[in-house]
Amino acid sequence: MTGSDTKDWVNRINSREPINTGHHLPEKVITNKSPSIIMVKGLNARYIAVIGIVVAIIILGAVGYLLFLKSGEEGSDGDGDENGGPNRPPVADAGYPITIMSGEELLLTANRSFDPDGDELSYSWDMDAGVDSNNDGIKDNDRDVLGMYIIYTYPPPVDTLTYIVTLNVTDRPLTDPQMKWDTSTVRVTILVNGSATPPDVMMECHYQSATPLTGPYFLVRISDVSSPEFISNFTFHIESPEGDSLLEGRVTDIMVVPLNATIRFIDTPSMTLLDQLDTFDIKDGGEITEGCRFYLYYKGLMDPVGEVELNE
Ligand SMILES: [Ca+2]
Ligand SMILES: [Ca+2]
Ligand SMILES: [Ca+2]
């Protein structure tokens, strides 16, 4: 064996070391593996935390969105009041009594009607509560005219005629089970120039004691009129118990007169029609005393349409 051979052999022996180091490999693998496991465990924890945050954000977002939708529903004119209650009925208002002349156009408005929920309303008018124009057995539900404002012309009546007009208001389509409604009526009187039949006027007398402003007076109140007529159609006449004429004139001439006038006409609601609750205030004094008679005439006809004795 040469020197170089020996050296080579030693090298070969030494070169076997790596064979031994092979035994350490598993240790190294294990050593290397441990940090990687820790690293993976650390990733999992962060991943779970991120997922948790994302889920929390999604849940909070969903809850917020639902609350927003709910507040939106409450703010709108949807299914109920501001407390989320059921739909409330509208309030119909057909307006004040109206008097027109025969042939004149009638204007009606429902603009004082309202809905407590703010619902948009629909308006239908039944123009005659005495006629069932849609033949369903109900006389005041007919949809004769539609709209908040209407113009209507009745056929000319022979004599003074009063219609009861019914306004029906709904806050949903008629087919909607949530629909609520209300009704209001208005009296429409049509006057005819030269009525064929004079009205019957019922009157009663009440005695009024003196007040700081007025002396004692007879208060003649109209208790009933068979058909309303313009005040300008009437004249009055006061007679003594013996039948002497004491005072006469047109009713329109005693409408706006001083408190101390001998006779005053007070037209309570309308200023145009002789109607129930209108009064004649007749001073007690001078020739006009208890036992006199008060007469009301219509259009110059000979026979009075009403009369009453002045008494205490
Ligand atoms: Ca309503
Ligand atoms: Ca009907
Ligand atoms: Ca009707």
Question: Distance from the CA of 107 to the center of ligand 2, in angstroms?
Answer: 22
Closest residue by Cα to residue 184 from 101, 119, 114: 114
Q: Is 105 in the same domain as 186?
A: yes
Q: Is residue 89 part of a domain?
A: no
Q: What pairing do the DSSP bridges indicate for beta strands 201-208 and 181-191? A: unpaired
Measured at the alpha carbon of residue 185, what is the angle toward residues 78 and 231, in degrees to the nearest 5? 145
> Is pLDDT above 50 for 30?
no
Spatial distance between the Cα atoms of 54 and 282, rounded to a whole number of angstroms: 92
Tell whether 30 and 68 lie within a shared domain.
yes
CATH code, domain carrying 233 = 2.60.40
Residue 129 belongs to a domain: yes
171 plus 230 within the same structural domain: no
Distance (angstroms) between ligand 2 centre and the Cα of 145 equals: 13
Asked whether residue 182 falls in the same domain as residue 246, the answer is no
- How far away, in angstroms, is 272 Cα from ligand 1 center? 38
Alpha carbon of 123 to ligand 1 centroid (Å): 14
255 belongs to a structural domain: yes
Q: Is residue 290 domain-shared with residue 213, that is, in the same domain?
A: yes
For residue 119, how far is its CA from the centre of ligand 1 (angstroms)?
A: 5
pLDDT at residue 14 above 60?
A: no
Please state the domain count of the chain.
3
Q: How far, in Å, is the centroid of ligand 3 from the Cα of 185? A: 12
What mean pLDDT value characterizes the chain? 82
* Cα 126 to ligand 3 centre (Å): 5
What CA–CA distance (Å, rounded) separates 184 from 161? 20
Nearest ligand (C-alpha, residue 166): 3
109 and 142 in a single domain? The answer is yes
Secondary structure in 3-state letters for 238-287: EECCCCCEEEEEEHHHHCCCCCCCCEEEECCCCCCEECCCCEEEEECECC
Q: Which strands form 161-170's sheet, in the order they lie side by side?
A: 98-101, 181-191, 161-170, 122-126, 145-146
CA of 88 from ligand 1 middle (Å) equals 4
pLDDT of residue 296: 97
pLDDT of 215 strictly over 60 = yes
pLDDT digits (tens, 9 = 90+) for 228-260: 888 888 999 999 999 999 999 999 999 988 888
Q: pLDDT: is 44 or 170 the higher one?
A: 170
pTM over 0.75: no
Residue 182 lies inside a defined structural domain of this protein? yes
Residue 168 within any structural domain of the chain: yes
CA of 183 to the centre of ligand 3 (A): 13
Please identify, among 75, 106, 139, the residue that sits at the C-terminal boundary of a domain: 75
Tell whether 170 is covered by a domain.
yes
- Check whether residue 142 and residue 165 sit in a common domain: yes
Which of 37-41, 110-114, 260-264, 292-296 is predicted least confidently? 37-41
pLDDT at residue 85, as a whole number: 79
Residues 186 and 231 reside in one and the same domain? no
CA dihedral 238, 242, 243, 244 (to 10 degrees): -70
Boundary-marking domain end, from 134, 166, 191? 191
Report the DSSP beta bridge partners of residue 235: 250, 297
Range of the domain at 59: 3-75
pLDDT tens string 56-90: 778 787 776 776 666 545 444 445 555 567 999 99
Domain boundary among 191, 216, 250: 191
List beta partners, residue 250.
235
Quote the Cα angle for 162-168-169, to 5°.
Answer: 145
Say whether both 10 and 65 belong to one domain.
yes
Distance 139 CA to ligand 2 centre (A): 5
205 with 304, same domain: the answer is: yes
Given a cut of 50, whether residue 40 has pLDDT beyond it is no
Q: Are residues 112 and 147 in the same domain?
A: yes
For residue 94, pLDDT beyond 50: yes
Q: Is residue 40 part of a domain?
A: yes
The predicted model gives 155-171 an average pLDDT of 92
Q: Indicate the pLDDT class of residue 195, thresholds 50, 70 and 90.
A: low
CA of 132 to the centre of ligand 3 (A): 4
Q: Residue 126: nearest ligand to its CA?
A: 3
91 part of a folded domain:
no
DSSP code of 175?
T
Out of 8-12, 172-176, 237-241, 291-295, pick the least confident.
8-12
> Which tens digit of pLDDT belongs to each residue from 255-297?
988 888 999 999 876 667 888 889 999 999 889 999 999 999 9
Question: Quick one: which of 251, 156, 248 has its CA closest to 201?
Answer: 251
In this prediction, residue 119 carries a pLDDT of 97
- What residues does the ion ligand 3 have nearby, CB within 5 Å? 126, 128, 131, 139, 142
